[in-house]
Amino acid sequence: MLIHGTLMNRSSDGEPIGPIALNWGFKDLQHLSRAFRRKYGRSPRSLRAGRMH
């Protein structure tokens, strides 16, 4: 899932996850969250939070 790279990229830190999801073609944030959790076992928000610490 290429959005994983976007979320890990520090240049997207100031951008909310919802608009990123829409830019990648997800119909809404919940659609992204379900697909992301299914593939990676965690939410996009927790991935980003873990990278920031």
Kindly list the averaged pLDDT for each block of 10 residues, start to end, along the chain of length 53. 90 92 95 96 92 66
d(CA 31, CA 14): 21
- The phi-psi region of residue 35 (left if phi > 0; otherwise alpha if psi is between -120 and 50; otherwise beta) is alpha
What is the model's pLDDT at position 25? 96
d(CA 29, CA 52): 20
What is the model's pLDDT at position 18? 94
What is the model's pLDDT at position 52? 64
Contact 47, 3 (CB under 8 A): no
Q: Is 46 helix (H, G, I), strand (E, B) or coil?
A: helix
What is the model's pLDDT at position 53? 57
pTM, whole model, 2 decimals? 0.79
d(CA 15, CA 11): 9
